[in-house]
Amino acid sequence: MRALLIALVVLIVVFFVFVLGIGVGFFLSGDSGFGVGERVAVLTIEDLILDSKDYLESLYKISKDDSIKAVVIRINSPGGAVGPSQEIYSEIKDLSEIKPVVASIGTVGASGGYYIACAADKIFANPGSITGSIGVVAQFVSYEKLLEWAKLDVEVIKSGEYKDVGSPLRKMTAPERDYIQGLIDDVHMQFIGAVSRERELTIEEVNKIADGRIFTGEQAAKLKLIDELGTLSDAIDEAGALGGIEAEPEVEYYPKERYRFFDLFADKINIPGLSRMPQRKAFGLFYLVDIIQ
């Protein structure tokens, strides 16, 4: 009898540990696991776009969830690196083939942020939102004069003329400048082509405004860069209607928060601005606008 009682207690303990483990798993992964009903997913893209991994994972999960009938891409970003911006754009285009996608520009959706918005079926922005900035930038710094002042010599051995192009150890030569300008012009034309294609504008029409200028939402509407002036709620309502949701749609936000045990204590360590400081670790081309936020 005693052995049976002990076995029963052990079974109960194991059951509760199992349930607790599932709960902790959902908490750490950021997935509630209990979504019901027809929903609109809101994928928030914010800050500098330097990596596409979390966004691509979210788009994959959204595409596989049949209860999600439509998607809103909420953009609060001045842009970022060309590669990640194009990856996100391409995945959203693929998603729009199976679910309606609406973009909503908040404070700023410019340069790479606007590039991504163009993948949506419809773009909303507030009258005072900042958008546009159809352009590309690459920035370089030269320490040549500093090295001369410090009387330091640097020797570079390379396999080809352009192998160390953009090196901070010396000024760029005229041929190197022309080479980089060619890269920028090519990527710029890719941006112009995407805007022309998605916004149903001619290349000539886009060229007139593709000089890096930013526009308010109201100006962008007149230029046909966006479809409607409206808030995030307006975009969610439109997405729900396009997705055939008759009642008020449930909303699920992405990317999901992933909690680590270290993160539970991270807010106790306060280093102002450190977590938001972008790090450019290598040369790259950027769809980016500098806006003080």
List 158, 163, 171, 208, catalytic entry: 163
* 249 phi, psi to nearest 5 deg: -75, 145
Q: In terms of Cα–Cα distance, which of 240, 252, 248 is closest to 32?
A: 252
SS3 246: coil
List 111, 129, 133, 196, catalytic entry: 111
What CA–CA distance (Å, rounded) separates 101 from 120?
Answer: 5
What CA–CA distance (Å, rounded) separates 187 from 254?
Answer: 29
Residue 99 known to be catalytic: no
Contact yes or no for 104/84 (Cβ under 8 A): no
Residue 111 known to be catalytic: yes
What CA–CA distance (Å, rounded) separates 125 from 249?
Answer: 21
Structure tokens given for 107: 């404070």
SS3 221: helix
Contact yes or no for 92/52 (Cβ under 8 A): no
CB atoms within 10 A of CB 45: 27
What CA–CA distance (Å, rounded) separates 192 from 214?
Answer: 15
* 5 phi, psi to nearest 5 deg: -65, -45
Give the residue numbers annotated as catalytic, written as ranges.
Answer: 111, 163
